[in-house]
Amino acid sequence: RARDAELRAAVERDEFVLHYQPVVDMATGAVTAAEALVRWNHPERGLVMPGEFIDLAEETGAIVPLGEWVLREACRQAAEWRAEIPAAEGIWLTVNLSPQQIKKGNLLQVVTTVLAETGFPADRLVLELTEHEVLEPDEATVALLEQLCATGVSFAVDDFGTGHAAINYLRALPVQVLKIDRSFVAGIDESEEEYAIADAVVALGTAFAMHVVAEGIERPTQAERLLAMGCRYGQGFHFHRPQPPAQLAELLRGAA
């Protein structure tokens, strides 16, 4: 309870910051998207990573105001980049959503308001859902995703492959991007079996006409093998680490 109050107070006090991890077109190295990742700039502990507070925030519901802050701040920042940097106009902004935001928050209104306030274009925003949320979506969730989709925003399934989602739901939901979890990428340059599994997942995404993004790419051999499978987009330390806003802006300026 004390830590819940601390988290909520930290949102009020504006103690969170966003870092951004680029997604690249592996054929060209060009940045195609930036994923907003939250960090807590704690007055005593320094920069605290989400692994240390997201689970608690989800349990207590503090993720709802925090998630709204993340969405607003990411759209505000990205709109600023679009105004100043030519290469920023062509990229997508991706923001992680918590299941709580879908179930409890007035998400349609939040997204609509944030886009209107910041001037960030809906068709450049991608909301990342974890596979657990699309596992057995209730009618209200399907309706909400369809309403959001109608505003022009897109959806990505994050950590794909870890939630045992029935692939049937990929057909029922308006999801345009599949992010293959890093656990499926890790061994593809070391084991033929791991390669075959990743290859099948890429084929699945392609069959559903989705953009496929591989996560957690740490070595050039992994990127080469993914490209050979037909997976065009990648994210991982081999390309770029999550970085503070100023550093991402510099990267985008250099791309012009």
- Does position 158 interact with Na ion (CB under 5 A)? The reply is yes
Binding-site size for Na ion (CB under 5 A) equals 2
Binding residues (CB under 5 A) for Mn ion: these are 96, 128, 158
3-state secondary structure of 167: coil
Q: Is 42 exposed, middle or buried (0-12, 13-18, 19+ CB in 10 A)?
A: middle
Q: Is 204 exposed, middle or buried (0-12, 13-18, 19+ CB in 10 A)?
A: middle
- Does position 98 interact with ligand G (CB under 6 A)? The reply is yes
The secondary structure of 111-138 as a DSSP string is HHHHHHHH---GGGEEEEEEHHHHHS--
Instruction: Please select the residue that binds ligand G; options are 7, 20, 21, 102, rule is CB under 6 A.
Output: 21
Q: Between 101 and 140, how does the x/- string for binding to ligand G read (CB under 6 A)?
A: ----------------------------------------
Q: Locate tokens 């290469």: which residue?
A: 87
Q: Residue 239 Cβ, how far from ligand G at the closest point, in Å?
A: 8
What type of residue sits at position 237?
Answer: F
Q: Residue 150 Cβ, how far from Na ion at the closest point, in Å?
A: 26
- Does position 131 interact with Na ion (CB under 5 A)? The reply is no
Q: Residue 86 Cβ, how far from Mn ion at the closest point, in Å?
A: 26
Q: Nearest residue to Mn ion, using CB?
A: 158
Closest among 186, 191, 183 to 163, alpha carbons compared = 183
Where do contacts with Na ion occur on this chain (CB under 5 A)?
Answer: 158-159
